[in-house]
Structure 1
Amino acid sequence: MKKSSDHLPAAKALRRSLLMGAALLAGFAATTPAASAAEKAEPAPTVASLTTCTATAVKTIKIGVLAPFSAGGMAADANDIYNAATLAADELNAAGGVCGKDARYILTFDKGDTEGQRSDAVITAVRRLTSASDLHLIIAPYASTSNFEINLMAKAKMPYIISGGAEATKGIISKNPAGFPTVWSRVPDYGGYSTDLPPLLDKYLSEGKLAVPAKTVYIIGSDDPYGTTIATGLKDSFEKAGWKVVGTETVPFQSVTDWRTQLAHIRDVKPGAIVVTEWSPASDATFFNQFIEQPTDSLLFLQYAPVIPEFNQMTHNKATGVIFNMLGGAIDSRPDTKDITAKYTAKFGPGGYFSVAGYNDVHLYALCIAKGTDPADHLAMGDCIGKLDVDTPSGRIAFDPKTHLAKQGDDYMPTIFYQVDDKGGKYIISPDFVAQSPFKQPYWMTTKPKT
């Protein structure tokens, strides 16, 4: 039986040409930061590059998906990552399986339902998946509100790729990075969430694209680590940028069904911008629907929720002009993102953030297998994932060894800002080098831009 190192020269040449072709297809103009970063990274893997080899032996392995499959609005993200991962695996399996050191690997899946992210449900799901036969990787959009499960993954020496709660991940891992050799976050540090909105609004103000009655902001956070961290950081950043914070509130995560108390305060102070970091789609949709009944002359920023199709359904596609941002999200203007999105939509209907992230999680794992890492050697797999430096639909992924988070910034994973369009979709408005359309003043605002 030939090992991957024994592949014929022609196969090696084919693999190199396929990888180069993928990089060209996925790349941007050579003058952009994204293109510069992509040149430094390994080209994005493709189905062809991951399955082109002479190996004939076939093995089957499992990937676990840990997510809140039965948690109302959060179930949309759970189903997106599962569907996207299976889509990627189906393509790899149909091409003969992922090429490994001594075999081709067929990928199958197992679900671990964390329900409403309750600790007992998370523990039960983790224990079941980590004890499953031939299961060698677990991926998650987010499993708990505090990411405490990464301690369980480290104890079980289970490779774990998580896409949410980066601040919680950093807080746990940074105390002892060597103690978490198999745990990696494809989401960067949340620094961009806390710092990048005020300068963007100032830029639009100076360019005449945005007009507000006053540089004042009202911030509503939620009591989960994600919402609290971002709200606290934004308050500080707005104040440093010269904006006056005219109100702050903290609400229970996923629990608000009536926002009229908060909106009464907002209508009293009439802020130039409103920021809501409570990020559940049902709560944010309710906020918008009640806000638009009597809107203030305010720009509206909603953290994350508008990317989930449920938000647009509940707002009846009337949230045109709302802005939001994402870290680690797919860059919609990239050709590979467009291709994955089209395939996902054709099979499952419109998806959110994880409809591309889940697909790429499988490709990252497959890339380590193709590099010769034995899936059953969990520590070796964790080491391989942690050393990746590769172009992806979200930008360049490389991990910070001190926090195990993906690196953030225009040369790695930029903070992507979006605006909701009139069909309930979204388009990138910033950064400029990946923008799909310019920012537009929301229709409910009465103060008009100068240009």
Structure 2
Amino acid sequence: MRLAIPFRHSRSDLLSRALLSLGLVACSLPLHKAFADDKLVKIGILAQITGKSSADGQESVRGAQMAIDEVNAAGGIDGYKFKLVVGDVKDGSAGDVTSTVDRLLGDDAIQFMLTGYASLTNFELDMMADADMPYMLSATATQTRAIIAPNPSKYACCWSLSPSFDSYGTDVTKLADKLQAEGKVKFASKKVAIISSDNAYSKTISEAMKKTFKADGWTITVDEMVPFGEVDDWRPILAKVRQDPPAVVINADYLPNNSATFLKQFLEQPTNSLLFLQYAPSVPEFVTLTGKASTGVVYDLLGGVLTTPKLPLSAELLAKFKQKYGVESGTYGIALYEEMQVYFAALRKVGDPTNHGAIEAAIGATDMPTAEGHLQFDPKTHLAVQDDSHYPITFFQIWDGKRIMISPAQYATGDFQLPPWMKP
């Protein structure tokens, strides 16, 4: 699992098959003769192509490639054409991320790098800052803020499409209270079970949730943490949940396979509880794994695609992605497409891809509509601005395999419905 996979001169069968499945064979072929070397800009992408989060990684590469294919087909930018260079960071371990970043930074033709997420701690931001490499990412915003906020000027290179994750920790409580106040659910108690996974993303969110629920007068009946990785059996934890049935059950493990298994085992003997699963239901794979069993599940997203007729850009991009690749995009396909659009806009403004300082400043000054909302960056944290006028927190409920946006009201595509396992 931790073996290094040389990329330029030889590849393992595993990585080759992954790239073939992504339609990126061209990444390993000689450049087309029509591309003059001095007019070719390489773009480096870090992605967990072959790790536990391979669904996100492969989707990320597809999104970036779609943007590059479009701009190349339109003639490029000021004569520049673009080529994606894929760096597989596998499961995002420090060693795999470091070696992959070092290799990509060693290619002088790479002028921009991006990722959905490489590591979950984002330590690679320091490597990008040291190399003065323009870099964008779309995850673990709490870790990004902790690194950048003490010294934003040091990290002029680096910008996050993800907004602050603070609302992940606060707004599930608000949603539960709102649904109760509106009479859409009748909770028998103010009890909550919170289950998480031992990784930076899940732990940060679940710990914030615990504080918010406690402050709002809720009692935490189950507080469990599982090791990060594959979990086949949630039944011992679910047995604890059933001993004192809570009004809300939360699982912050973000891996789709784990979340799907949790849902199936919860439904073996469901409690009369609202079931909230963090992030995983947004991945198309989740509904494939669960089918109609996912009906009623609630989840939220920060920086997620606003799938609403009020923003036709979102529907257009989702349709283009599916037409191009034959599969739906979750969060990261569109996010990486948008990261590339931010870079392209900066390059159009600056004109010279090697002027990294000017490119970075242009990225930081971004003011543009995206499929996730209106994008501007907070200069103090380099995160996307988070509010209902920029990147809102959105809540979804799955019903018959479809994701219905239930909040905020101005983007909602439907109303919350009582899950089939809950009593009126």
Assess same fold via TM > 0.5.
yes
Deviations 1:109-138 (A, max 9, x none): 000110111111101110111111311111
The residue aligned with 1:391 is 369
In structure 1, the residue matched to 2:322 is 345
Which residue of the partner structure matches residue 172 of structure 1? 147
Equivalent AA in structure 1 for residue 130 of structure 2: K
Q: Is the 8 A contact 1:123 1:149 kept in 2?
A: yes
The residue number in structure 2 matching 1:95 is: 74
Deviation at 1:378, TM superposition (A): 1.4
Match of 1:254 in 2: 229
1:443 paired with 2:420, answer yes
- Write the letter of the residue equivalent to 2:316: D
SS for the counterpart of 2:369 is: strand
Cα distance in 1 between the residues matched to 2:180 and 2:240: 25
2:102 maps to which of 127, 146, 150: 127
1:408 — aligned with what? 386
Aligned residue-pair number: 386
Q: Which moved more, 1:198-207 or 1:333-342?
A: 198-207
Q: How far, CA to CA, are the matches of 1:141 and 1:438 in structure 2?
A: 30
Alignment-mate amino acid for residue 232 of structure 1? E
Aligned to 1:127, the other structure's residue is in SS state helix
Percent identity among equivalent residues? 39
- Distance, in Å, in 1 between the alignment partners of 2:399 and 2:81 is 40
Match of 1:235 in 2: 210
The equivalent residue for 1:428 is 405
* Structure 1 position 71 matched with structure 2 position 51: yes
TM superposition shift of 1:309: 1.8
Q: Secondary structure at the match of 1:433?
A: coil
Q: In structure 1, the residue corresponding to 2:414 is in which secondary structure?
A: coil
The answer to whether the 8 Å contact 1:61/1:135 transfers is: yes
Q: Does 1:280 align with 2:255?
A: yes
Shift of 1:389: 1.9
Of 355, 359, 363 in structure 2, the residue corresponding to residue 381 of structure 1 is: 359
List gaps (5 residues or longer) in structure 2. Answer: 1-36
Q: Following the alignment from structure 2 to structure 1, what is the Cα–Cα distance between the partners of residues 269 and 79? A: 60
Shift of 1:254: 2.3
Match of 2:282 in 1: 307
Q: CA deviation at 1:373?
A: 4.2
Cα drift, residue 58 of structure 1: 8.8
From 67, 76, 81, the equivalent of 2:60 is 81
The aligned runs of 1:194-343 (5 Å cut-off) are 194-333=169-308, 334-343=311-320
CA RMSD of aligned residues (A): 1.6
Contact residue 183 and residue 404 of structure 1 kept, 8 A? yes
Preserved contact between residue 326 and residue 417 of structure 1 (Cα < 8 Å): yes
- Tell me the amino acid that sits aligned with residue 408 of structure 2: P
Contact 2:40 2:82 in 1 (8 A): yes
- Distance (whole Å) between structure 2 residues aligned to residue 372 and residue 169 of structure 1: 26
Structure 1 contact 253–280 (Cα < 8 Å) conserved: no
TM-score (norm. length: structure 1): 0.83
Q: Which amino acid aligns with 2:132?
A: K
Q: Is the 8 A contact 2:111 2:356 kept in 1?
A: yes
Task: Select the residue among 340, 351, 364 that pairs with 1:362.
Answer: 340
Name the amino acid aligned to 1:343.
K
User: Deviations for 1:133-167, whole angstroms, at most 9, x for unmatched residues?
Assistant: 31111110110121111111111111110001111
Task: Confirm or deny: 8 A CA contact 1:217 1:247 kept in the other structure.
Answer: yes
Deviates more, 1:121-130 or 1:369-378: 369-378
SS of the residue corresponding to residue 104 of structure 1 reads: coil
C-alpha separation between the residues in 1 aligned to 2:191 and 2:175?
15
- By relative contact order (CA 8 Å, sep 6+), the higher-ranking structure is 1
Please give the per-residue CA displacement for 1:80-135, whole angstroms capped at 9, x wherever unaligned: 1111111122111111112xxxx222121000110111111101110111111311
Q: CA deviation at 1:262?
A: 0.6
Which of residues 42, 45, 53 is equivalent to 1:62?
42
Counterpart AA for 1:339: E
2:397 match: 419
Q: Structure 2 CA distance, aligned partners of 1:235 and 1:187?
A: 22
Q: Partner residue of 1:18?
A: none
Match among 104, 122, 145 for residue 147 of structure 1? 122
Measured in 1, the distance between the counterparts of 2:128 and 2:87 equals 13
Query: Aligned partners of 2:228, 2:314: CA distance in 1, in Å?
Result: 31
Q: Distance in 1 between matches of 2:196 and 2:255?
A: 12
Contact 2:350–2:362 at 8 Å: present in 1 too? Answer: no
Contact 2:116–2:332 (8 Å) recurs in 1:
yes
Q: Which shows bigger deviation, 57-66 or 397-406? A: 57-66
Matched letter for residue 355 of structure 2: D
Instruction: State the alpha-carbon separation in 1 of the partners of residues 365 and 215 from structure 2.
Output: 36
Preserved contact between residue 114 and residue 143 of structure 1 (Cα < 8 Å):
yes
In structure 2, C-alpha distance between the alignment counterparts of 1:336 and 1:375, rounded to whole Å: 27
